[in-house]
């Protein structure tokens, strides 16, 4: 039961146990709410039979007080069991999702986009929180309590009255269950159009400068308005479909009042039941049907909530990268041994790639765009796992090493820099947890960050905006390089590290990098041939295979791809308007 609830509603083990307790507490509370009707039945019976004396008056007074106290206590327990535990579980769920996302390989994020993941963490969690606190315990508690009451009345009173009163309840539930497939399909479509709209809004915010620069604002906003209208139409369609089934079930419930009155009236006319029994069943259906109608609405909402549960369970059940937290490598040579790799679309990106990036040397990856250079750098850091062959670091297969343990040995400068809306100091300090201010500033000076930091209003304490929006591309790149200086790891991966820098800053950074890379394993991706002119080993990639490799001198000694690229760049550098 616990395991089933965990996967069905994306719960932790404790959350599943708490949900069971919540359902039990709601059941008990519902039964307690039936007790006043029982006390009232006994009171009317005594009045009709003339047995209501002083002793019975005291009995009903005490009974009323006890019933009120029991209802108060059970409601308090129910509140804690449904709401407080749900909010605690919601926090656990969000933390678990964040932790899971941290452990997932980048291949997972290649199949997802930011809007989808944001919806997982925020929207889906909020929907399940509402379901867990309001809908699910109420539904299960209502079903159990009504079933217990029905069985009790079946044996204590006339079974025909029980059938006349209760037959509508299973029929109403069958109607809602019948719509579950259509409801889920509508919710899936609704989620899809919402995600498309969210993607459009996010894309608009990220590309507003390009839209304005190209005069494409009106056309884009028309397309975005269409996406918003699609969400509106799908929401109305989903609500209408749900309303048809829920209202049909509600009508069936109302028919139950009629059947109770007709059957009860007929039995009373024939003298087969008493007026008190007839009155009690009329009071019972009035007590049961209105809450049951709300329960049916909740049931429909729970069915639609199943989509959010499936989405969250898909994240929580995704396979993570694991491995040893202790490394036994001998040195830091990176060896690609007949490596093959495919993305999720099953298209070959790398085929039978073999080369060695030796410690103490600079290995440059060059070649036409789309050749697989960036993929190789990602595989070397185990952002993805290879499909064929293996990659070793110091002789140890990196697929057997825990990713966080492995990455402690890497300093990486990406082509696309990610910065945070924090100070310059804290953005650089990400490179080394607990680094002192002096260490951070020393790394910043090596990366020539002090040139622009000194001009900022708060120097190193200046906040640089979301993803460094207050800085230029070159300034953002220098902060990323400063992180690498600060981490000072034995393996360095540089993906177009100086692409956003002017010639003067590029020269200064290259001089600083020459100090950083001593006795380290360096893999560098570059399109500027002068950036890798002093590399020890060059690997030329084309169409996912190693087309050629060797030292710059060797590759320049014949009509190689490398020598051709060098000549072409010299021609482009000498080009004039």
pLDDT given at position 423: 86
pLDDT given at position 472: 76
Place of tokens 């057997």: 400
Q: Count the neighbouring beta carbons within 10 Å of the beta carbon of residue 422.
A: 16
pLDDT given at position 570: 63
pLDDT given at position 381: 85
How far apart CA 206 and CA 459 sit, in angstroms, is 27
Closest CA to 358 of 122, 120, 539: 539
pTM of the model: 0.64
Q: Count the neighbouring beta carbons within 10 Å of the beta carbon of residue 531.
A: 21
> pLDDT tens across 139-191, in order?
788 788 888 888 888 877 888 888 888 888 888 888 877 777 777 777 777 77
Class of domain 321-401+521-577: alpha beta
pLDDT given at position 9: 67
How far apart CA 455 and CA 557 sit, in angstroms, is 48
How far apart CA 541 and CA 71 sit, in angstroms, is 75
User: Angle at Cα 518 formed by Cα 512 and Cα 519, nearest 5°?
Assistant: 160
* Strand partners for 491: 410, 521
- For 17-74, the three-class secondary structure string (H helix, E strand, C coil) is HHHHHHHHHHHHHHHHHHHHHHHHHHHHHHHHHCCCCHHHHHHHHHHHHHHHHHHHHH
Helix, strand or coil, per DSSP, at residue 401: strand
**Signed CA dihedral, 562, 563, 565, 569: sign only:** positive
Q: Is 20 exposed, middle or buried (0-12, 13-18, 19+ CB in 10 A)?
A: middle
Give the Å distances, CA to CA, from 82 to 69, 111, 132, 199, 301: 20, 35, 7, 35, 17
* Strand partners for 388: 340
Q: Count the neighbouring beta carbons within 10 Å of the beta carbon of residue 297.
A: 19
pLDDT given at position 317: 73
Six-digit token string for 28: 């008990």
Q: Under a CB-based contact definition with an 8 Å cutoff, are residues 491 and 513 in contact?
A: no
Q: Under a CB-based contact definition with an 8 Å cutoff, are residues 312 and 125 in contact?
A: yes
Q: Count the neighbouring beta carbons within 10 Å of the beta carbon of residue 18.
A: 23
Q: Under a CB-based contact definition with an 8 Å cutoff, are residues 161 and 266 in contact?
A: no
Q: DSSP letters of 539-563?
A: EEEETTEEEEEE-HHHHHTTT-HHH
How far apart CA 537 and CA 324 sit, in angstroms, is 31
Place of tokens 């079930």: 249
Question: Could you tell me which residues come within 8 angstroms of residue 341 by beta carbon, excluding any fewer than 6 positions away?
Answer: 348, 349, 350, 372, 375, 379, 384, 386, 387, 388
The ranges assigned to domains in the chain are 2-316, 321-401+521-577
Q: DSSP letters of 334-393?
A: EEEEEEEEE-TT--EEEEEEEEEE-TTSEEEEE-STTSSHHHHHHHHTTSS--SEEEEEE
* Residue spans of the chain under pLDDT 50: none
Question: Could you tell me which residues come within 8 angstroms of residue 8 by beta carbon, excluding any fewer than 6 positions away?
Answer: 306, 309, 313
Alpha helices in 381-472 (DSSP H): 403-407, 424-429, 437-446, 450-453
> What letter does residue 409 receive in the DSSP assignment?
T
Helix, strand or coil, per DSSP, at residue 122: helix
Closest CA to 489 of 428, 393, 435, 408: 408
CA 332 from centroid of its chain's CA atoms: 36
pLDDT given at position 69: 92
Question: Could you tell me which residues come within 8 angstroms of residue 172 by beta carbon, excluding any fewer than 6 positions away?
Answer: 249, 250, 252, 253, 292, 296
Phi, psi dihedral angles at 347 (to 5 degrees)? -95, 130
CATH placement of domain 2-316: 1.20.1560.10
Six-digit token string for 221: 């906003």
């Amino acid at each position: 039961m616990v395991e089933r609830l965990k996967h069905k509603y994306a719960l932790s083990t404790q959350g599943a146990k708490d949900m069971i307790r919540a359902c039990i507490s709601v059941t008990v509370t519902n039964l307690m709410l039936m007790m006043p009707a029982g006390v009232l039945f006994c009171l009317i019976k005594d009045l009709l039979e003339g047995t209501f004396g002083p002793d019975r008056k005291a009995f009903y007074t005490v009974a009323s007080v006890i019933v009120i106290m029991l209802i108060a206590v059970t409601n308090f327990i129910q509140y804690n069991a449904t709401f407080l535990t749900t909010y605690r579980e919601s926090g656990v769920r969000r933390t678990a999702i964040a932790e899971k996302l941290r452990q997932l390989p980048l291949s997972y994020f290649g199949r997802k986009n930011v809007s989808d993941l944001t919806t997982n963490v925020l929207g889906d969690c909020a929907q399940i929180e509402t379901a867990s606190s309001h809908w699910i315990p109420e539904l299960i508690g209502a079903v159990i309590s009504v079933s217990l009451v029905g069985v009790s009345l079946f044996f204590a009173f006339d079974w025909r009255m029980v059938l006349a009163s209760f037959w509508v309840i299973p029929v109403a539930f069958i109607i809602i269950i019948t719509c579950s497939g259509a409801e889920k399909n509508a919710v899936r479509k609704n989620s899809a159009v919402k995600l498309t709209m969210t993607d459009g809004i996010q894309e608009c915010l990220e590309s507003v400068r390009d839209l304005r620069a190209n005069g494409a604002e009106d056309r884009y906003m028309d397309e975005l308005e269409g996406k918003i209208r699609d969400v509106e139409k799908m929401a109305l369609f989903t609500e209408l479909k749900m309303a048809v089934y829920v209202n049909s079930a509600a009508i069936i419930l109302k028919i139950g009042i009629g059947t109770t009155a007709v059957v009860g009236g007929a039995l009373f006319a024939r003298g087969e039941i008493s007026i008190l029994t007839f009155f009690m069943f009329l009071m019972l259906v009035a007590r049961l049907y209105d809450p049951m109608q709300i329960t049916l609405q909740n049931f429909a909402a729970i069915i639609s909530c199943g989509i959010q549960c499936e989405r969250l369970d898909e994240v929580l059940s995704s396979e993570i990268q694991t491995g040893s937290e202790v490394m036994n490598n001998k040195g830091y040579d990176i060896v690609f041994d007949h490596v093959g790799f495919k993305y999720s679309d099953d298209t070959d990106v790398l085929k039978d790639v073999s080369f060695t990036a030796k410690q103490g040397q600079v290995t440059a990856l060059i070649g036409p765009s789309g050749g697989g250079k960036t993929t190789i750098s990602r595989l070397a850091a185990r952002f993805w796992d290879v499909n064929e062959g293996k990659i070793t670091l110091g002789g140890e297969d990196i697929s057997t090493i825990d990713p966080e343990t492995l990455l402690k040995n890497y300093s990486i400068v990406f082509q696309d820099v990610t910065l945070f809306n924090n100070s310059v100091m804290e953005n650089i300090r990400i490179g080394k947890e607990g680094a002192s201010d002096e260490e951070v500033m020393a790394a910043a000076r090596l990366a020539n960050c002090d040139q622009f930091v000194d001009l900022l209003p708060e120097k190193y304490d200046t906040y640089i905006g979301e993803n460094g929006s207050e800085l230029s591309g070159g300034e953002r790149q220098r902060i990323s390089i400063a992180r690498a200086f600060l981490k000072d790891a034995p393996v360095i991966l540089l993906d177009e590290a100086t692409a956003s820098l002017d010639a003067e800053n590029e020269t200064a950074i290259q001089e600083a990098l020459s100090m950083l890379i001593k006795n380290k394993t360096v893999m560098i991706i570059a399109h500027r041939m002068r950036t890798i002119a002093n590399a020890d080993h060059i690997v030329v990639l084309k169409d996912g295979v190693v087309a050629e490799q060797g030292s710059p001198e060797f590759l320049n000694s014949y009509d190689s791809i490398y020598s051709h690229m060098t000549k072409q760049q010299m021609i482009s550098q000498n080009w004039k308007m």
